[in-house]
Chain A
């Protein structure tokens, strides 16, 4: 039931994104900037970096808990999308076998280290994106994109697309249920049937677009979409941005793992 799962997932994230928490209330532009810088910081480490990446976990954890996003949900998403990256990364330990060091006599090769590094980077970058959309309304994100000068046609397209994904997936789901009800076992999921189903969904969609266009015209549509979402960033947003930038900077350039480690070593 891949379809239903995906659909409800989108709906679930959508509902999460309308919660009212500290993180949800932070300006979308601020969150977007932080997330992009975060991803670049994580990705910019060399392929053999492992421990320096650990501190970066703090930020998703912070967002997640403050934003009241269930950990289970994020973990589930991570598992669902992992196969491709796993498939690519698994070759590293097999192909790069130079020994880096030994742990209790067990040789660890460079490939294994880079494999672990890829997986950690994957976990960090994917979870921060999921958390971003689960804590920010999509309309808010699009507003942020427009603010950052992404072409308007594209931003409008995103909003339109997002609006009608819910309508059309529901329509598709009704059609699939009708199909599944009448297809016992495999029959009915064949290509031939699929094209008819998709084809008629397409024809219906185009008819719908025409009706929407009519509705838009009757309310004075003249080619531009007047999205008028204005939100002034407040002092809280600025403080949050500043604090996060500071933390990112510290994590990226001062390697807290090393500092903490040395400190503890000295104490011991």
Chain B
């Protein structure tokens, strides 16, 4: 689910670059404050480990297809959120550069999608909460991986949508992305949980040593930051819910029906529903902003909506394109032959 340069608009690309660099700078600052020198080689090695582990494929039970480890949650569990985020960002950078996974401009989006939600939302708000008493590591890592990946996938949809390059309707895209990543998330969650469990049995002191680092983090996570995180989470889930509510009323009604036995809510004016409804109304433009609406409008505003197509509109366009292509390839060919002779 790596975003690609060709699918995003410059503003989305630059915007998420700014967000991700901000995230890195913030994490770097936090890490520097609590710098335990020991973490320097550990971060490098664990990054390389995730890299290597991603290259080993495994068979997903009952399907026969193969999956691989994402690693974001594993890193956060072992290193804490700040170091985990930086390591994940470094892995994605190398993948963007060497495997052309995604792209350079889309790198900001990818760091955000695969790093931020896992390290700063799923890890502190889910994993840490569930494992507060030092128990339930397995279920905690499973749930937090799934949630992190769901948020990431939804983020991909939003970025694609706001870039406006792909014609995929918002709704369809969400319907494609979320279930696929639910399946991926469950498998990855199980793998992450199993690895954590394995390490815990072989070398329990590894998880123990990561605790002091986390303890320091816990103390400096101020209420303000937590509230901010909650706000982000609420907006995202709220948006998601309200969107489901608006474009897929059957879905919400169906679930209400299941709970209350009738398709209406008992208290119509209860606060949270109103809030959701409000958000829903505000966001309701989104699902409508798809090709159907455009189709209706298109006759009236075609000139506005579509720019003059530069290919084929004139003979000169085609001629020019051909010549430019010839020049491009010709230059390469000439340099190559000259070099070979020289």
Contacts and interface: CB of A to CB of B under 8 A. Distances in A.
A touches B (Cβ under 8 A): yes
Interface of A: 2-3, 6-7, 9-10, 13, 35-36, 39-40, 42-44, 46-52, 54-55, 57-58, 61-62, 64-66, 68, 77-78, 80-81, 84-85, 88-89, 91-92, 95-96, 98, 100-101, 103, 108, 110-111, 113-114, 118-119, 121-122, 125-126, 129-130, 132-133, 141, 150-154, 156-165, 167-169, 171-172, 175-176, 186, 189-203, 205-206, 208-209, 212-213, 216-217, 221-223, 225, 255-262, 264-265
A200 B202 contact: yes
B37 A64 contact: no
B327 to A, nearest CB: 7
Contacts of B302: 98
A213 B37 contact: yes
B103 A161 contact: no
Nearest to A95: B167
A187 B94 CA distance: 32
Given A133-B97, A195-B198, A118 B6 contact: yes
Contacts of A141: 97
Given A167-B48, A201-B49, 8 more contacts: A51-B321, A52-B310, A58-B331, A95-B291, A125-B6, A161-B44, A186-B59, A256-B320
B89 A154 contact: yes
B274 interface: no
A114 B194 contact: no
A162 B100 CA distance: 16
Residue from A96, A119, A141 whose CB has the most chain B CB atoms within 10 Å:
A96
Interface in B86-107: 86-87, 89-91, 93-94, 96-101, 103-105
B99 A81 contact: yes
A98 B59 contact: no
A212 B61 CA distance: 37
Interface string B7-29: 11110011000000100110111
A43 B298 CA distance: 25
B195 A198 contact: yes
Interface residues of B, number: 108
B48 A121 contact: no
A80 to B, nearest CB: 8
B306 A168 contact: no
Nearest to A164: B48
A100 B303 CA distance: 11
Interface in B293-319: 294-295, 298, 302, 306-307, 309-319
Contact of B90 (A10, A158, A198): A158
Contact of A169 (B21, B55, B101, B166): B55
Contact of B97 (A129, A152, A189): A129
Interface of A is mostly: helix
B53 interface: yes
Contacts of A201: 49, 52-53
Nearest to A125: B5
B207 to A, nearest CB: 10
Contacts of B48: 161, 164-165, 167-169, 205
Given A62-B332, A158-B94, A264-B323, A190 B61 contact: yes
B232 interface: no
Contact of B10 (A40, A96, A103): A40
B175 interface: no
Contact of B331 (A62, A84, A197, A213): A62
A237 to B, nearest CB: 20
B263 to A, nearest CB: 32
Given A133-B97, A191-B59, A261 B318 contact: yes
A38 B212 CA distance: 45
A261 B317 contact: yes
B139 interface: no
Nearest to A118: B6
